[in-house]
Amino acid sequence: MAKSKKEVLVLEDILGSNKKLAASIRQKLRENGILAVNLLSSPGSGKTSLLEKIGFCLKDRYRIGVIEGDIETERDAERIRKIGLPAWQIITHGACHLEAKMIARIFDRIPADLDFLFIENVGNLVCPASFDLGESLRLVLLSVPEGDDKPRKYPEAFITSQVFVITKCDLLPHLPFDVERVIREAREINPKLEVFKTSALSGEGLEELCAFLEKKLEELRRQNA
Amino acid sequence: MHELSIVAELFTIIEEKAREAGASRVTKVRVLIGEISGVVPELFRTAFHSYKKGTIADRARLEIKITRVKFRCLRCGKEIKTRDISSPDFSHSCPFCGSKEVELQSGRDLYLEKLELET
């Protein structure tokens, strides 16, 4: 019998299963009143240092947990545990980003009574932007030494984030980094971006950022009520 | 290089759809890749052809259609198309009313559009 060929229209989102899983994670976290924050940036731009400082700032008043995504080692989780916060390390063994299924695998270990759940993605300004993890808020970090031309070079990370945190601002007097330009270009790509200028070393901008996170937690809980 | 993870998801859908249709082989796969989806078509192609070995689509051709970026102006409601979001002279303002409040409508999505099957 001759083989017959036919064409089938599918029109299915290739990342649909990740999106579905992320949506169910988001719903569970929201029901428990947990604000989940996904942090995206290049390696070495200061995600863990910023989390240490946010942790210090908020830990007396809130319950905080941190998921650390790295290609290898527990080093970041160990840093977070040192300041007295629970941290769960996801080692991706080579994968350049976290996916919702990786969060789902460790979800049972996350206490339901947290206030904030921070997810530090694998250091990479490209790939993590494509994967929803079920967060309520996405932060993109850019450190002063990386240069002020990055938002337009890596648009997806800036389009999909709600908050843009400029880190290592204590280095501004030493480097040709135009803060106004970077903010302008980031907002040209995403006009709704909230911007914070911070330094984990000097403490600049951390109070404002923490106050913003507290406000977002309140908003989430008001929506639940 | 997250294209391989995405191709792995694609094959989950391909195998499910082929099974549902009672196909013995998938001969063509057509995908839609958003211009700013973060996926590089050439890397996607390489990942596809190395992943397909030993699957129901082991001899399948891959067709890629790039879907262009589209914005909508939040003030005047008009649709704005642009070829290149990263071009330095693209200011993301509405060419019709000048508003900076524009919202991305498409260009980020990844879809399996259709399959050609042998039954």
Residues A49-65 pLDDT 10s: 999 999 999 999 999 99
How many domains is chain A built from? 1
* ipTM here: 0.85
Examine residue B87 and state whether it is found in any structural domain, yes or no: no
Examine residue A5 and state whether it is found in any structural domain, yes or no: no
pLDDT for A188 = 84
The answer, for A6 touching chain B at a CB cutoff of 8 Å, is yes
pLDDT for B107 = 86
Examine residue A63 and state whether it is found in any structural domain, yes or no: yes
Q: Is the pLDDT of residue B68 over 70?
A: yes
Examine residue A137 and state whether it is found in any structural domain, yes or no: yes
User: In a mutagenesis test of the A interface, which of B2, B13, B75 is the best target, namely the one with the most A β-carbons within 10 Å?
Assistant: B2
User: In a mutagenesis test of the A interface, which of B3, B5, B74 is the best target, namely the one with the most A β-carbons within 10 Å?
Assistant: B5
Q: Is the pLDDT of residue A165 over 60?
A: yes
Residue B88: pLDDT band (50, 70, 90) is very low
Examine residue A10 and state whether it is found in any structural domain, yes or no: no
- Contacts A159 to B, Cβ<8 Å: 36, 104, 108
Judged by CB atoms closer than 8 Å, whether chains meet at A8 and B114 is answered as yes
Report residue B62 as tokens: 């891959």
Q: Is the pLDDT of residue A1 over 80?
A: no
Q: Is the pLDDT of residue B104 over 90?
A: no
DSSP element (H, E) containing A118: strand A116-120
Residue with tokens 């996170």: A213
Examine residue B12 and state whether it is found in any structural domain, yes or no: yes
* Tens-digit pLDDT profile for residues A62-112: 999 999 999 999 999 999 999 999 999 999 998 899 999 999 999 999 999
pLDDT for A9 = 96
Report the alpha-carbon distance of residue B107 to residue A151 in Å, rounded. Answer: 17
Report the alpha-carbon distance of residue B61 to residue B74 in Å, rounded. Answer: 41
pLDDT for A2 = 66
Q: Is the pLDDT of residue B72 over 90?
A: no
CATH number for position B30 = 3.30.2320.50
How many domains is chain B built from? 1
Question: Chain A: residue nearest B8 by CA?
Answer: A14
Q: Is the pLDDT of residue A137 over 60?
A: yes
Report the alpha-carbon distance of residue A54 to residue A214 in Å, rounded. Answer: 11
**Phi and psi (nearest 5°) for A47?**
-65, -50
Lowest mean pLDDT among A86-95, A113-122, B57-66, B99-108: B99-108
Report the alpha-carbon distance of residue A217 to residue A194 in Å, rounded. Answer: 16
CATH number for position A118 = 3.40.50.300
In the three-class reduction of DSSP (H, G, I as helix; E, B as strand; rest coil), residue A150 is classed as helix
- Residue A125 structural domain: 17-224
Closest Cβ opposite residue A96 in set B1, B13, B118: B1
Mean pLDDT of chain A: 95
- Residue B16 structural domain: 3-69+107-118
Question: Chain A: residue nearest B93 by CA?
Answer: A188
Q: B67 to chain A, minimum CA–CA distance in Å?
A: 13
pLDDT for B69 = 83
Report residue B49 as tokens: 């052809």
Examine residue B48 and state whether it is found in any structural domain, yes or no: yes
Residue A166: pLDDT band (50, 70, 90) is very high
Report the alpha-carbon distance of residue A212 to residue A196 in Å, rounded. Answer: 10
Examine residue B81 and state whether it is found in any structural domain, yes or no: no
Q: For chain B, report the end-to-end CA distance as a whole number of angstroms.
A: 34
Residue B89: pLDDT band (50, 70, 90) is very low
